[in-house]
Every structure is written in structure tokens, then in C-alpha cells.
């Protein structure tokens, strides 16, 4: 088989797409999520995309995100005025608002009077398109230094703050709207309502995008991409790969073979659960490959986290290539495609987002070898985790799969800080199982996003157990709350639950004498330690 370059499944044109133009904002992905929560399909495009290309997508509306630049700074992102004259409804937020103002002849000043965080907003036209039905005094989330002092001709000023005379403006005739603040964040108390007013009232879009649409569109895209060839899918034990496999199974049926690589890096009992629950739910063909020794041999002596990720990604693909050969020998037709459960946050954090640094490599994204011989099918790469769960439910997958906490592709290999060995994996598996059992018993499974349990293998601390001095490893609990893993905060678990987890781990897991709690948000930390 000739080498094929990795490629995503072809896009299926959505008739009601809203484009989110990313000016480098930390909230661009959140804007897209909020639009989808309003049951309208959205896509993120870079601010460097020519306006003609944006308009060629036939968007029902365009949203301009915030960004870190000043509209007057040299090299700051710009937009062709043609965007605002094309008849497409446009909504500017923060930097996008200021860019709309200056492009159309308004005035934005650097007054030195900045606003950050929660700010009182005074609505001066309560019956406007954006503010209909919302209070005349409301709290919004500001983050700006420049301020709009004069709206462009033809615009009506509809809100202000104590510092900013023009905090919102509207032009119903041209369907152009803007606000200085961030309506997409929860701190803006009526932000979602304002966004929906733009979508429904300003742009006239019907809220009709559902998980059923996602399934229908992706089934068509998968069939177009795969044709009459065969595909294999790597099941990791997590919700992402399971939903991706179920979606591809729906599209191409017995042209798909699922392969579960038991690399020895899974949590306790997960291999058995994958074999039982997934097959029962989908009827898909599943091949289980025992590759624990291969992975542990490859990881021997390696402590650097990025190197571990690369090794795991490389070996993962090589195991798949071997599985492909065996499937070819058995069944004959060419296996040309590899299905992966890559999500949008994976793309962003692996350097695939607009102006985004490579926060981590991922074996679904940045860890693939250059000489990969599969073309990738990634039906979830534009979805967030909560959307994936909804698709899974729509496809009939059981809660045991759909509601599982996120688990990294490289498995426990990146939850051991230090070299990965069989002994350390077994130790971490026991500690992780205890934490999960107690969180489930306390009914906290769905209250948190996930709770990575980390072994500091290269660290030992003094302890006292059984009236004797010990020198054991610390275990770190990392419970976090999040909507989509783009940002996260540490979860305030009840002390009695934490105490029970700590007591059980130090009593039941050999060579562990200390349990610590990670209380770092993301940013500055990431959810995983490596």
C-alpha cells in the first residue's frame, strides 16, 4: 500500500453556519461553543482568512472575537471593509467591536481608563435587538484598555459603562452589532441571551442544529471519504474513540474493524470493560492486541514526558500497521483508513488552533510518525467533549461509556512522573481505582470533569507507618471542573471524601505514604501533569 498523508474527513457544508473569526482571543472556542448551545452550527476561522473566502462559505452570520491587540497597534489584525458591506449580519465582541467601529468610521481611544473583570453595564435602549427583555442594569465581563467614544454613522448606542460611553451599538438596517464586553463568558449574566438575540433576531437564524445533524453530516462525510475501502479504529477505552468508532460503524458497517491495543497503560479493569460494553452496544468487530511488553520495553529508561508521548504514539501506530497486515491476510480488501477520536481541544492544544502554541503533543495529533501509512478519519475533530457525549447518547452507547471521565491517549504513561515500569503502573492502578471508587460512592462522578491520579515516581518522602519510618512515593489527586478542557478549575471536593481516599491509598497501596491535592487552575497549569 502506498503511503497516504494524514487527512481529516471532508467537511459537509452546513447551510446555517456561523463563522467565528478568531483574532487571537482566549475565548474564541468558547464563542463557538455558545453558538452551538444556541442550536446553531459554528466554525472558527482565522482572522488572516481573506474576506472573499469567508463569504464563499455562505455564512448566515459572522462573529468577530476579542483579542489581545490594540486596534491602533502596528501589525494589529485588520478586516476588509467589504465584510461589513456584504449584507451578512456581523456581531463584534471586544476587539471585534472596536475593529468594526474604527473600520466604519467610529472612534476608539486609548484613554488609559481600563476595565477588567465584572463591570456594571447601563442599557440605554432596553427594547433594542440585542437587549430586549434584559435588565437596564446588568453585570458584564470586560477586558480592554482602548474604548469606543463615538459610534460609526448610522449606529445607535445601546449601552455604556461608567468608563466607556459606547459599550454597545446596533445598526438594524445593515444588521451590524457590537459590544465591548465578552457575552460568551458566564460572568456576563445575560450574555447567552444577548448572543441568541443576535443569532435569532439580528441574523434571523432558526435554532435547528442538533446532534442528529452531526450524525447525519458525518455519516455522509465518512462514506464519501472511505468509499468501498476498509478502516480500522483504535479503541482506547475512552468516550472519544468509542463514539468515533460507533459513528464510523454506522456509516460503513462491516468495513470497519476496531482494534484495542492493550499497551499495559490502562486503568484497572478497563480492558475487560471495553471488550464487554463496546461490543455489546455496537456489534462491531473487535480485535484485542496484547502489546504490554512491547510498550514497556520501548519506554524503559525514558522520563521526559514529550518523549514518552512520542514513543507511545509511534508504537501505537506500529501495532496498528501489524493489525492491518493480519486483517488483510484474513479478509483481503485494502485497509487504508485509521479512525481516531480527535476532538477540537486536541487540535487547539497541539498547535492546530489560530495563533496557538503547542501546549502538548497528543498521539491523536502531534505524536503521529511522519511515515504513517493510513489516511485519518477524525469525525469528532470539530466537536467539544460535551457534544461528543450527546452524539454518543444519540447513537445508543451506554452511560458506562458515554459518561466516562476523560482519559489521555497515552494512558497512565503520562501520569507517572518519571520512568514507566510495570511495578509503578500496578501501584498507580491501585491508587487510581481507590480514588474512582470513592468518588463514585460519593456521587461525585458527574460533578467533576475528571480526576487524574498522578504518581511522583522520582520523588520519595519520609513517613511513619506501622510505628516504623518509611520512605515512599507521593500520590497526587487532581480533581478538576471544566466545560471543555480548554480551561479548568480545581474541584472543591468534600474533606471527608478526600480523607477517605487518602486513608485508603496509604493503607492499601504499598510504597505510598503520602497523598497530596493539586489546587492549580488551568491556566497556569494543564489538567494532566505531563
Largest CA distance in the chain: 81
Strands 156-160 and 230-235: unpaired
Alpha-carbon distance of 189 to 43, in angstroms, equals 24
The contacts of residue 73 (CB under 8 Å, 6+ apart) are none
Sign of the torsion angle spanned by Cα atoms 438, 443, 448, 450:
positive
Whether 122 is a known active-site residue: answer: no
Residue 480 parent element (H or E):
strand 480-481
Task: Quickly list DSSP for 88-99.
Answer: --EEEETHHHHH
Whether 184 is a known active-site residue: answer: yes
Q: Which residue has the cell 451599538?
A: 169
Alpha-carbon distance of 334 to 322, in angstroms, equals 13
Catalytic site residue from 115, 148, 170, 182: 182
Catalytic site residue from 94, 148, 258, 451: 94
Q: Phi, psi (5° rounding) for residue 11?
A: -70, 145
Alpha-carbon distance of 34 to 323, in angstroms, equals 41
Q: Which residue has the cell 468515533?
A: 244
Chain-centroid distance, C-alpha 29: 8
Alpha-carbon distance of 412 to 420, in angstroms, equals 9
Alpha carbon distances (Å) from 340 to 184, 227, 312, 377, 381: 30, 18, 15, 6, 9
Burial bucket for residue 517 (CB in 10 Å: 0-12, 13-18, 19+) = middle
Residue 506 parent element (H or E):
helix 495-508
Q: In 32-71, which positions are buried (b, 16+ CB within 10 angstroms) versus exposed (e)?
A: bbbbbbbbbbbebbebeeebeebbebebbbbbbbbbebeb
Catalytic site residue from 184, 196, 270, 430: 184
How is the chain split among helix, strand and coil, in percent rounded to 5?
35, 20, 45
Dihedral of CA atoms 294, 297, 298, 299 in degrees, nearest 10, equals 120
Which positions are catalytic?
A: 94, 182, 184
Amino acid at each position: 500500500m502506498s503511503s497516504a498523508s494524514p487527512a481529516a474527513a471532508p467537511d459537509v457544508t452546513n447551510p446555517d453556519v456561523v463563522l467565528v473569526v478568531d483574532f487571537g482571543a482566549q475565548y474564541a472556542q468558547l464563542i463557538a461553543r455558545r453558538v452551538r448551545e444556541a442550536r446553531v452550527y459554528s466554525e472558527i476561522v482565522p482572522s488572516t482568512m481573506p474576506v472573499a473566502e469567508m463569504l464563499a462559505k455562505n455564512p448566515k452570520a459572522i462573529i468577530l472575537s476579542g483579542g489581545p491587540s490594540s486596534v491602533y497597534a502596528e501589525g494589529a489584525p485588520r478586516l476588509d471593509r467589504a465584510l461589513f458591506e456584504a449584507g451578512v449580519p456581523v456581531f463584534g465582541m471586544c476587539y471585534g467591536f472596536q475593529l468594526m467601529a474604527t473600520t466604519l468610521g467610529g472612534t476608539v481611544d486609548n484613554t488609559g481608563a481600563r476595565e477588567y473583570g465584572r463591570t456594571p453595564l447601563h442599557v440605554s435602549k432596553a427594547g433594542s435587538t440585542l437587549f430586549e427583555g434584559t435588565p437596564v442594569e446588568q453585570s458584564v465581563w470586560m477586558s480592554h484598555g482602548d474604548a469606543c467614544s463615538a459610534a460609526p454613522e448610522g449606529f445607535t448606542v445601546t449601552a455604556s459603562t461608567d468608563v466607556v460611553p459606547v459599550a454597545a451599538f446596533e445598526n438594524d438596517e445593515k444588521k451590524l452589532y457590537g459590544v465591548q464586553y465578552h457575552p460568551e463568558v458566564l460572568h456576563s449574566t445575560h450574555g447567552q441571551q444577548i448572543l441568541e438575540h443576535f443569532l435569532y433576531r439580528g441574523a434571523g437564524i432558526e435554532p435547528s442544529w442538533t446532534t442528529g445533524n452531526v450524525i447525519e453530516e458525518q455519516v455522509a462525510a465518512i462514506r464519501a471519504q472511505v468509499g468501498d475501502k476498509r478502516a480500522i479504529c483504535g479503541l482506547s477505552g475512552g468516550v472519544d474513540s468509542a463514539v468515533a468508532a460507533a459513528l464510523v460503524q454506522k456509516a460503513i458497517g462491516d468495513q470497519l474493524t476496531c482494534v484495542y491495543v492493550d499497551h499495559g497503560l490502562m486503568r484497572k479493569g478497563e480492558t475487560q470493560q471495553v471488550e464487554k460494553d463496546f461490543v455489546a452496544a455496537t456489534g462491531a468487530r473487535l480485535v484485542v492486541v496484547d502489546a504490554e511488553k512491547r510498550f514497556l520495553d520501548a519506554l524503559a529508561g525514558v522520563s521526559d514526558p514529550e518523549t514518552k508521548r512520542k514513543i507511545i504514539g509511534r508504537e501505537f501506530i506500529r501495532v496498528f500497521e501489524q493489525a492491518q497486515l493480519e486483517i488483510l491476510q484474513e479478509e483481503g480488501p485494502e485497509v487504508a483508513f485509521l479512525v481516531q477520536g480527535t476532538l477540537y481541544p486536541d487540535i487547539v492544544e497541539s498547535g492546530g488552533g489560530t495563533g496557538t502554541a503547542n501546549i502538548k503533543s497528543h498521539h491523536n495529533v502531534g505524536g503521529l510518525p511522519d511515515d504513517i501509512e493510513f489516511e485519518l478519519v477524525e469525525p469528532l475533530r470539530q466537536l467539544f467533549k460535551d457534544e461528543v457525549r450527546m452524539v454518543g447518547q444519540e447513537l445508543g452507547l451506554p452511560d458506562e461509556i458515554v459518561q466516562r471521565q476523560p482519559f489521555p491517549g497515552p494512558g497512565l504513561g503520562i501520569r507517572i512522573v518519571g520512568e514507566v515500569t510495570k511495578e509503578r503502573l500496578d501501584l498507580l492502578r491501585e491508587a487510581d481505582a481507590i480514588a474512582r471508587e470513592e468518588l463514585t460512592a460519593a456521587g461525585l462522578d458527574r460533578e467533576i470533569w475528571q480526576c487524574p491520579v498522578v504518581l511522583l515516581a522520582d520523588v520519595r518522602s519520609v513517613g511513619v507507618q506501622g510505628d516504623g519510618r518509611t520512605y515512599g512515593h507521593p500520590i497526587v489527586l487532581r480533581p478538576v471542573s471544566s466545560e471543555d478542557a480548554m480551561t479548568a478549575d480545581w474541584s472543591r471536593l468534600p474533606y471527608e471524601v478526600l480523607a477517605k481516599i487518602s486513608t485508603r491509598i496509604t493503607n492499601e497501596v504499598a510504597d505510598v505514604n503520602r497523598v497530596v491535592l493539586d489546587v492549580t487552575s488551568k491556566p497556569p497549569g494543564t489538567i494532566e501533569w505531563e
